[in-house]
A and B are shown apart, each in its own frame.
Chain A
Amino acid sequence: MVITTPDSQGHFDAFGGRYVPEALMAALLQLEEVFEQALTDENFWTELTQLLCDYAGRPTPLTAAAKFSKLCGNARVVLKREDLNHTGSHKINNVLGQALLAKRMGKSRLIAETGAGQHGVATATAAALFGMECCVYMGKVDTERQRLNVARMQLLGAEVVGVESGSATLKDAMNQAMRDWVASVDTTHYLIGTVAGPHPYPKLVREFQRVISAEISQACLAEYGQLPDAVIACVGGGSNAMGSFAEFISNPKVALYGIEAGGAGIETDRHAASICGGSVGVLHGTKTFILQDEDGQTQESHSISAGLDYPGVGPEHAWLATNGLATYEPVTDEAAMEAFKALTQTEGIMPAIESAHALAGAMRIGQRLAVGDPNAQPLIVVTVSGRGDKDVDTACKYFGLSGVPDSFTGGLI
C-alpha cells in the first residue's frame, strides 16, 4: 500500500506544504481541524452523501463509448460522466463538501477563484443552497471567454469580480481571492476549487473528489467484472484527475494518465503543462511543478481551455509524476479540439474543452497500446469532467461556425 496521505504539515515528500503569510495560518489550521474531524464523522458523510445523491445527481454513470473507441486503437473506452452532475462538472463534489465544512465553522461567506467558471458556478450554487454570501474572483481574460458562466453566477446571486492584475487569468484570480481572505477570514471560507494551494487543501479536495474513483471502481467491477486497465483524466490544477486516481494509486495494475494542456506545444512557450514543461517552485502556497522564468517569476500559461490555463499543478500530482505512479502527457489545443468534435459526433456527448484533452489523450494512448500489444483490448476509463455548453463560443470560433442556419426554407421567394 502506497501511502499517499500527506504528512501532518501537508508534504508529499518534497512537494506540498504551506507557503503562506502567517495571517492565513489560523484559518488554515482551523480548516484542517474541522476537516479532520469531519473525515471520521459519520454524520458529516451521511449529510454529504445525501446532497451528492439528491441534489447533485450522483452516482454519475459510466457510458460505454463504442464508436469513439474505434478512434482509440483496440481499447474499450468508457466515459465517467461527471458532465452529468448538477452545474455541469465534477466541481460540485468538492464544493458541497467544503460548504458543509464552512457551515461547521460558522462562516457565512464563500469566496472562490475560477478559470472556466465551472468552480465559480458550483460555489455560487452551494452559496444559494446554504444561504451564504458569495464572491467569485475571475481573471478578466476569462470573464470575456466564459461570459455564459459569469451570467450564471450572477443569476445565482453571487458577486463576480473581474481581476485585471497580472495576466488576468486563473492564477491572478487566486491571488485576489487570497487577498480577500487575509482581510475577511473571520467570516469567510475560501473555497479552493482544485488540489493545489496550501495544506490542507490538496488533501481535502482530493478526499471530496475521491467519490469519482470510488464509483469508477465499483461500476467497473459490476459492469465489466474487472478494474479498469487505465484511467485517463485532464490535469490543470488536477482535481478531477486526483478524484479519478485516488482509489487506484496503490494498485499498480491500474495505469493512471494525467493529460496536461499542451497549448501550442510544450516546445513553445505557449502551454500550461506544468509537469511536462515546468520546474519545481512555490506558487499559491504549495511547492510543486510550476511554469516560471529563470528568476522564479511565474510565467503565463496558455491553453484554449480556460479551466486548464494555470501555471501550476496540485502537489500530489507532482509527487505521483516524480515517483512514476502516474504518467503525465501534454495534448495540444489542436488535438483537444479534434477530440471535442470526435466525441460530440460519434457519441452525441459534447465534452468541456478541458475534458476533450483527456479524450485526445485516450485516442493517443489507445493507439499506442494497440501497437505495443495488438491482441489486448484494454478497458480505459476516461473522465469527462464537465459538459461543453460553456465552450460553444470558443468552439464556434475554432471551427469557423457563425450560428447561421445551413439553408432557409418557407420564406417568400
Chain B
Amino acid sequence: MRLGLSSQVFLAAAAAGRKALVGYYPVGYPNVEASLQVLKTLCGTDEHPGVDLVEVGMPYSDPMMDGSVIQSAGSAALRAGVRTRDVFAAVQQVREAGKCAVVMTYWNLVERYGVRAFARDLANAGGAGVITVDLIPEEASQWFAAADEFGLDRIFLVSPSSSDERLVTTVQACRGWVYATAVMGVTGMRNTAPTLAPQLVSRIRELVPEALIGVGLGVSNGEQAAAVAEYSDAVIVGSALLKPMIAAGSLAGLPDLQKVLDELVAGVRGGTATQNSISMIEREC
C-alpha cells in the first residue's frame, strides 16, 4: 500500500502516541451553509481538538450501504438542494480550518461529474482523496488514472467477509489507508464495540504489514472509540456525529455534537482529552 496525503494524519497521530479520529459528516445537512458550520466544529479549536481527518459525505438518492441515520440526513440534504459541487466548498472549509479532508461517495455521482473532472476539482479544493463506498478495485481503472494524475488518495473498503486474496489486492490498491468495515451490516450506531473488527485488522496486518487501517461502522461513544483504538490506526465515526444534528434539525444541535465529539476525542487519546495535539499535526494535505 502506498502512503498518501491522508496517511500523514495517521502517522502524526501515531507520533503523538495515539490513534487518529476520523469523522464523517454529509455536506448539505441540514443545508449547505449550516453543514459548513458543522464541519468547522468537527475540525476543532485549541480547547477542543476535534477530529484528525474529516470524511465529507456526499448525499445520494440510493445509499445502499447506509443505515437510517445517514439515509435520512442524505434525503433531507437532497431535498434542501445540495449539489455535487458543494462538496468542494466543504472540503475547502475543512482545509481552512486546518484539517485534512477526504470525500466519501457512491460512485455514480463521480461518474456523472466526470471522473477526471471530479479528481481535478477535489485536488484544487485541497482534498486528500476519496473513499469509494461501492467501487471495488476491479471497476476502478478510470479512478486509478485520475487519482494518480492529481495525486489523490484512494481508499477502498474491506470487510470481515473478504477473502485473504481480496484483502491483499484491495489493500494494495489503496493509497493512504484502508477502510475496514467492522461489522457485516450498514452504517449506524450499535450498542457494543464491533466484534469482527479485531480479527479483520489482524488479518490485514499479517497480509500487508505496512497497511494503515481505519475501522468504521458502529462506533458511537468514547468507550467504543477507545476499544477500537486499541487495535486500529484510526477510529471512524459517522452516525453518532449526525444524530445530535438530526435531533435538533438545525445548528441548535452543535452543543450536543460538541459533547459527543469531546468524548470520542478522549476515547482515541486513551481516556483523557489533551489540548496540545493539534499543533503537532503539521502536514501537507
Contacts and interface: CB of A to CB of B under 8 A. Distances in A.
Interface string B149-180: 00000001111111100100010000000000
Contacts of A4: none
B136 to A, nearest CB: 6
A139 to B, nearest CB: 13
Contacts of A292: 108, 112
Contacts of B163: 26, 29
Interface string B67-107: 11001100100100001100000000000000000000011
A53 B223 CA distance: 59
A282 B111 contact: yes
Contacts of A59: none
B1 interface: no
B133 interface: yes
Contact of B112 (A165, A182, A183, A296): A296
Interface stretch (A14-22, A38-46, A80-88, A226-234): A14-22
Contacts of B75: 165-166
Interface in A120-179: 165-166, 171-172, 174-175, 178-179
Interface in B108-158: 108-113, 133-136, 138-139, 156-158
A185 B135 contact: no
Contact of A23 (B63, B135, B157): B157
A283 B62 contact: yes
B266 to A, nearest CB: 30
Interface stretch (B8-16, B181-189, B238-246): B181-189
A401 interface: no
B134 A21 contact: yes
B29 interface: no
A295 interface: yes
A182 B133 CA distance: 13
B191 to A, nearest CB: 15
A19 B156 CA distance: 12
Contacts of B72: 165
B207 interface: no
B57 to A, nearest CB: 14
A285 B108 CA distance: 10
Given A25-B162, A183-B185, A296-B109, A20 B134 contact: yes
A284 B62 contact: yes
Given A165-B75, A179-B186, A182-B184, A27 B108 contact: no
A378 interface: no
Contacts of B24: none
A183 B62 contact: no
A251 interface: no
B65 interface: yes
B215 to A, nearest CB: 14
Dominant SS among interface residues on chain B: loop
A186 B83 CA distance: 37
A297 B113 CA distance: 11
Contacts of B67: 179
B64 interface: yes
Given A22-B158, A281-B112, A295 B185 contact: no
A23 B159 contact: yes
B105 to A, nearest CB: 10
B62 A22 contact: no
A295 B83 contact: yes
A19 B181 contact: no
Contact of B136 (A22, A178, A183, A294): A22
Contacts of A282: 106-108, 111, 134
A198 to B, nearest CB: 9
Contacts of B68: 165
A22 B166 contact: yes
B61 interface: yes
Given A179-B186, A182-B184, A183-B184, A21 B64 contact: yes
A298 interface: yes
B139 A18 contact: yes
Nearest to B161: A26
B25 interface: no
A234 to B, nearest CB: 23
Contacts of A183: 183-186
A22 B186 contact: no
A175 to B, nearest CB: 5
A175 B64 contact: yes
Contacts of B185: 179, 182-183
A322 interface: no
B84 A296 contact: yes
A165 B67 CA distance: 11
A194 to B, nearest CB: 16
B71 A165 contact: yes
A19 B111 CA distance: 12
A22 B64 contact: no
Nearest to B66: A179
Residue among B110, B166, B170, B184 facing the most chain A CB atoms (10 A cut-off): B184
A22 B159 CA distance: 6
Given A22-B181, A179-B67, A295 B112 contact: yes
A166 B136 contact: no
Contact of A171 (B60, B62, B183): B62
A256 to B, nearest CB: 28
A353 B148 CA distance: 50
30 contacts: A9-B138, A17-B138, A18-B136, A18-B139, A21-B65, A21-B159, A22-B157, A22-B159, A22-B162, A22-B181, A23-B159, A23-B181, A25-B159, A165-B72, A179-B185, A182-B64, A182-B65, A182-B186, A183-B186, A282-B108, A282-B134, A283-B62, A284-B62, A292-B112, A296-B84, A296-B112, A297-B60, A297-B78, A298-B61, A298-B62
6 tightest A-B CB contacts, nearest first: A296-B112, A183-B185, A23-B159, A26-B161, A282-B108, A178-B64
